[in-house]
């Protein structure tokens, strides 16, 4: 696997999903799901609770095996470029400080210098908590540490599972802006959210529907 900076992409197509189907405990969540992600796309996956949004995202990241169909990340130098996935879990270590959490976790295949990290922390409004162990943070503040990774990663695609959870109004606004800016720069974003999101350009909607043969 390799991690490819956005600017290096030649092609417009980033992800191609072909008739994907996922089964959990013998029940099909969906089948024959096909879509494509291009640079600049913002796609919102919608579906009721338990539709299979998280499952779809995890299998695109290789964290779950899919039952049928296939998908393909665009390749650069024969290596598929992988997305940055932020899921329900924040991947924040409680015993490390906010700064160390970003400093010692590789993002997109590399470790970063101090300055960009401090900048990112300022942006998520945790500047005062630079040296606070993250176990002393509130729910929303912990999510912010995770979100700071978005600013540091140089990947062509973000996959965000309910990224607005626990964020206050201001934080949501900030995140929406970030997503839009990233799309303008040529990245693509796949996200879910149950609360309404406000982008200038309406995001594309991808609805997950239960296949006909699944009855319950």
Ligand X SMILES: Nc1ncnc2c1ncn2[C@@H]1O[C@H](COP(=O)(O)OP(=O)(O)OP(=O)(O)O)[C@@H](O)[C@H]1O
Interface residues toward ligand X, by CB under 6 A? 24-25, 29, 47, 49-55, 136-141, 166, 168
Q: C-alpha angle 132/109/80, rounded to 5°?
A: 140
| Least gap, CB of 59 to Mg ion (angstroms) | 13
* Residues 6 or more apart whose Cβ sits within 8 Å of residue 100: none
| Least gap, CB of 205 to ligand X (angstroms) | 14
Distance CA(54)–CA(38), nearest Å, equals: 21
**Quick one: 156 or 171, whose CB is closer to Mg ion?**
171
Distance CA(112)–CA(162), nearest Å, equals: 26
99 counts as binding other proteins under rule CB under 8 A: no
Distance CA(131)–CA(50), nearest Å, equals: 38
Which x/- pattern over 72-111 shows residues binding a second copy (rule: CB under 8 A)? ----------------x-----------------------
List 168's β-bridge partners, or say none. Answer: none
137 counts as binding a second copy under rule CB under 8 A: yes
**Quick one: 7 or 25, whose CB is closer to Mg ion?**
25
Count of residues of this chain found to bind a second copy when the rule CB under 8 A is applied: 32
Q: List for the chain the helix, strand, coil content (%; round to 5).
A: 30, 30, 40
Residue 51, contacted partner among other proteins, Mg ion, ligand X, none, CB below 5-8 A by kind: ligand X
Answer yes or no: are the C-beta atoms of 78 and 15 closer than 8 Å: no
Select from 1-9, 61-69, 72-80, 139-147 the region that touches a second copy (CB under 8 A): 139-147
> What residue ranges bind Mg ion (CB under 5 A)?
54, 139
What H or E segment, with its residue span, contains residue 35?
A: strand 27-38
**Quick one: 17 or 108, whose CB is closer to ligand X?**
17
94 counts as binding other proteins under rule CB under 8 A: yes
Choose which of 5, 19, 111, 122 interacts with other proteins (CB under 8 A): 111
Sign of CA pseudo-dihedral 167, 170, 172, 174: negative
> What's 46's DSSP letter?
E
């Amino acid at each position: 696997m390799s991690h490819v900076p956005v600017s290096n992409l030649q092609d417009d197509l980033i992800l191609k999903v072909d008739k994907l189907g996922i089964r959990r405990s013998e029940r099909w969540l969906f089948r024959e799901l096909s879509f494509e992600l291009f640079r600049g796309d913002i796609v919102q996956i919608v579906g009721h609770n338990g539709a299979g949004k998280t499952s779809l995202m995890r299998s695109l990241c290789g964290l779950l095996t899919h039952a049928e169909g296939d998908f393909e990340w665009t390749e650069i130098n024969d290596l598929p470029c992988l997305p940055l996935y932020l899921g329900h879990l924040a991947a924040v270590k409680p015993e490390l400080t906010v700064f160390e959490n970003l400093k010692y976790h590789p993002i997109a295949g590399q470790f970063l210098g101090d300055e960009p990290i401090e900048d990112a922390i300022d942006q998520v409004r945790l500047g005062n908590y630079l040296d606070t162990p993250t176990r002393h943070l509130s729910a929303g503040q912990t999510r912010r540490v995770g979100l700071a990774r978005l600013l540091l990663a140089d990947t062509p695609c973000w996959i965000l599972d309910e990224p607005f959870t626990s964020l206050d109004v201001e934080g949501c606004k900030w995140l929406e802006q970030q997503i839009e800016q990233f799309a303008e720069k040529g990245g693509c974003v796949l996200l879910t959210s149950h609360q309404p999101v406000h982008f200038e350009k309406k995001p594309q909607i991808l609805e997950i529907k239960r296949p006909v043969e699944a009855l319950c």
